Structure 1
Amino acid sequence: MSSDGDVNYCWGVTNYRFENFKPAFDESTGAPDERTQGYFASTSVGFHDVRSTEDALKNRVERAIADGRNLTAVYAQQEYEHALDANVPVATFAWFEKLVNVGGGRLVPGHLITWVTVRPTHRRRGLLRSLMTTDLAEAKADGYPFAALTATEGGIYSRFGFGVATWAHSIEVDTSPGFKMVHEPDRRVEMCLPSELRELAPKIYSEFMRTSPGAMERQQTYIERATGALNTDTGEADRGVRAALHFDEQGEADGYVSYKFAGWSKNPPTIELIDFVAVTDAAYASLWSFLAAIDLSTRVTFGESAEDSPLPWLLTDSRRVRTVSTEDNIWIRILDVKAALEARPWYVPGTLVLEIDDSLDLAGGRYTITSDGENAVVETASDSTPADLSLGIAELGSLYFGGADPVILARAGRIDENVPGAAVHASSMFNLGRMPYSPNGF
């Protein structure tokens, strides 16, 4: 892409105009400017969202500005009578920067990709490939060690080098009479107005983020949902939201839960969790004890539980926790192997040589990782240096937070083990001591 002010033109795809811009308001009217309105009209089509009211659109643009999102819109050069307005893009793309915990509380700026859509009438024209490959190359040039995204469809992004790095469980918890914990929690929990979370939730989440590999800074949407200011289904406020806080021994809030009653038509009566963040194990246990004590309900559902949640082990009857589904969450695309691997901690000393294939030629090559049990030095290896493992750049992304096991990937044919035992060795070296968890979608 070549820049012309705030408009960028990509010449790789004919009959289309590519523009990069920031979401903005029209100073004369106070409403989102025409280009921003067209952009969000397009994403609403792509993600099957309802058409936004004026207030809902204004709030959405304000959140995008707060997150520092950078937008790309693709416009068709040919117009047809009665078709959607030409100011509504036929494809969209966005990126923004957030800090990511790469292990041990080490926070690294990540290039987060979102709002990727292509109108069905303009698919198979090379638009997605042009948007993605151009963005990844620019992100690498800007010094980002990796890019990240969450995918609405699982089969799209591996071809661009993204690998699944974190997962989330959707769970149902039976809180009917008989719910009991193995150890009595401290119960330092009090309900609060959801509006209190506007100030407290970001502080509590910031502390939590440092404890969980793969966790990343949240965007404004999560604050709005937790406070009841936003129902993502309607774009309006949600007056049914309730909230509670856990307090440590010094009286400081170190965990919170935001939830709502699912309605009297739901059988059994159900509490739906909107957000649940606990910095400590004590906060986690006590908040679950609080949820189980809510009257006139016998079930709690949560769609973003950690893969290695301790909840079943907290209960005298672990069968009360049922995993309904498991879904991929964060996908990672390594852009700079040396920078990415040296940024994270390495708790097991040793040496590992990786041969990495990258079809986009952004980060492939042969690398030697030398760990001292705390940090690692990553160096380019010569072709004569034997590789312990051969893998694709997507598989390296899956290993990055320690969530995927090299042994399993080797059994699945996703990694070639060139030296017997190398996968087991890699499994111990990549392990970060805790499964990655990022209760965050974008």
Structure 2
Amino acid sequence: MGLDVRTLEAADLPEWLRAVNTGFLRAPTVSDEEVEVRRQEIDLSRTQGAYDAGRCVATFRSMPREVTVPGGALLDTDAITNVTVTATHRRRGLATRLMANDLRAAKEERGEALAILIAAEYPIYGRFGFGPATSYTEWFVEVPRAQLRPVPLPEGARIDLAEPAEVRKVGPEVHERFRRRTPGAINRTELWWQLETGEIRNPAQGWTEPMFAVYRDATGQATGLATYTVEEKWHGMYPECPLSVRGLIAATPEAEAALWRFLLSVDWVSTVKAGIRAPDDLLPDLLGDPRCAKVDTTADLMWVRVLDPKRALEARTYAPVPGALVLDIQDPLGHAAGRYRLEVAADGTAQAVPTTASPDLTLPVASLGALYLGNESVLRLAALGRLAEETPGAAILADALFRTPRRPWCPDIF
């Protein structure tokens, strides 16, 4: 094709960033300051570009991340982002080549068991073996109608506003506890916290300083963090200020509920936009009238692609229902293809052993990705024709094993 697909070197970054901006329909100009900020988060060894006569026309990069799986284990994962192809070079197989390079390196060189991404366009990534594994809901709450039930904080607990420097100290501690109890959550880097608190600013993204509220339990331990902005808005002498939640994480249900009640009780606030939340978030049912939490958006978010079935299947826990299933995983790209006997013990732990036995379920790797974190129903995928039950009753057993009590959730865009 006359196109050069290669891993980046340091001098390539400005041109590569220009191509990223072009691919996402942003102004292509890249400042020196933006290049230096982005250089801190980009691992050049995991970053690819396609070049036509020296001009970058397609981009791709990945990052090492840990994904929390059901049961709380952390699994090494290939987090894919910045996938673009310039409009002049579409339909030439560039995305396929870039993806193939990365998935091969993820499995064979880096030993990552999963790959994850957020799909800007739904139809693209199923063909690469990714399945939508988490979803999200955004609520819009009209505070005066919500009939918020006043509930005092537990004795000794408190909520304090925090400065950015304090957030950089306690935020990672809160997040570590939060992600251990949240399948689908990913780790956050030091740079993530620096950008979140404005210590480092990307000039291309702009910056509005948020407010931070920290929940501390009776022992003084920080177990919840809310980040939000409020726009001062008046109608005559009547305040109608909208509050927008950038993020709310909590290590306990008590901290989560207390922070929502705090945000919904801020003086002058008339509406609250909840931001990206789990579909089964507590928010609506904290209100006296849950109908006041109107669904603004609901959609898929993080997609999962299994690269190492044995490691992935054994890393998570299952419903404590002893049983065994033979899974025939179909993967045209070959990374996860094979047949495994999944045997679940009474405590929910499991072993996945390669086998030649007849399958109980036959499923594409994309369907396994959709099921893996517990967000999807085996019976629903069977009804859609996205997996096949080979042994009567196998789908019911698999559904019982894979589903989780709470929906998986990834609160981060990456």
2:6 counterpart residue number = 19
Which runs of 5 or more structure 2 residues have no equivalent in the other structure?
Answer: none
Preserved contact between residue 76 and residue 112 of structure 2 (Cα < 8 Å): yes
| TM-score after normalising by structure 2 | 0.91
Residue 153 of structure 1 corresponds to 121
In structure 2, the residue matched to 1:255 is 224
CA 1:72 to 1:152, structure 2 compared with 1: closer, same or farther past 3 Å?
same
Aligned to 1:302: 274
CA offset at residue 311 of structure 1? 1.7
Deviates more, 1:212-221 or 1:403-412: 212-221
Q: CA deviation at 1:118?
A: 0.7
- Contact between 2:128 and 2:333, CA under 8 Å: does it hold in 1? yes
Contact 2:374 2:407 in 1 (8 A): yes
After superposition, what is the alpha-carbon deviation per residue over 1:324-348, rounded to whole angstroms, capped at 9, x for unaligned?
A: 1112111111111112101111233
Residue 237 of structure 1: CA displacement? 3.1
How far apart in 2 are the matches of 1:121 and 1:94?
A: 20
Tell me how far apart the structure 2 counterparts of residues 297 and 233 of structure 1 sit (CA, whole Å).
Answer: 29
Q: Go from structure 1 to structure 2 and tell me whether the alpha carbon gap of 1:233 and 1:394 turns closer, same or farther (over 3 Å shift).
A: farther
Describe the superposition over 1:166-212 as per-residue Cα deviations: whole angstroms up to 9, x where unpaired: 11111112222653237444462111223422222222111111001
Within 5 A, what are the aligned runs for 1:121-136?
A: 121-136=88-103
- 8 Å CA contact retained: 1:345, 1:432: no
The CA deviation at 1:408 is: 0.9
8 Å CA contact 2:34–2:203 kept in 1: the answer is: no
Q: Distance in 1 between matches of 2:68 and 2:45?
A: 20
For this pair of structures, how many residues does the alignment match?
Answer: 405
1:15-414 correspondence runs (5 A):
15-21=2-8, 24=10, 34-50=11-27, 51-64=29-42, 70-77=46-53, 86=54, 88-142=55-109, 143-176=111-144, 179-181=147-149, 183-186=151-154, 188-219=158-189, 222-229=192-199, 234-239=204-209, 241-262=210-231, 264=233, 269-348=241-320, 349-373=322-346, 374-382=348-356, 385-414=357-386
SS at match of 2:262: helix
The answer on whether the counterparts of 1:350 and 1:372 sit within 8 Å (CA) in structure 2 is yes
Counterpart residue type for residue 381 of structure 1: T
Indicate conservation of the 8 Å contact 1:227/1:258, yes or no.
no
Q: Are 1:188 and 1:286, in contact at CA under 8 Å, matched by a contact in 2?
A: no
Runs of 4+ in 1 over 6 A off after TM superposition: 230-233
Higher deviation after alignment, 371-380 or 273-282: 371-380
Conserved 8 A contact 2:245-2:272: yes
Give the letter aligned to residue 138 of structure 2: S
Instruction: Please state how far the C-alpha of 1:215 moved relative to its aligned partner.
Output: 0.9
Q: Secondary structure at the match of 1:63?
A: coil
Question: Contact 2:20–2:84 at 8 Å: present in 1 too?
Answer: yes
Q: Distance in 1 between matches of 2:172 and 2:100?
A: 33
CA distance in 2, matches of 1:43, 1:52: 10
Deviations 1:219-238 (A, max 9, x none): 56642453145777942332
User: Residues 263 and 220 (structure 1 numbering): CA distance in 2 closer, same or farther, change over 3 Å?
Assistant: farther
**Distance change in 2, residues 1:232/1:154 (3 Å):** farther
Q: 1:232–1:347: structure 2 CA closer, same or farther, 3 Å change rule? A: farther
Question: Is the contact between residue 183 and residue 314 of structure 1 (CA under 8 Å) also seen in structure 2?
Answer: no
CA contact (8 A) 2:226 2:245 kept: yes
1:5 equivalent in structure 2: none
Give the conservation status (yes or no) of the 8 Å contact 1:167–1:327.
yes
- Letter aligned with residue 14 of structure 2: Q
Q: Return the letter of the residue paired with 2:301.
A: N
Pick closer, same or farther for the CA change 1:167–1:220 going to 2, 3 Å: farther
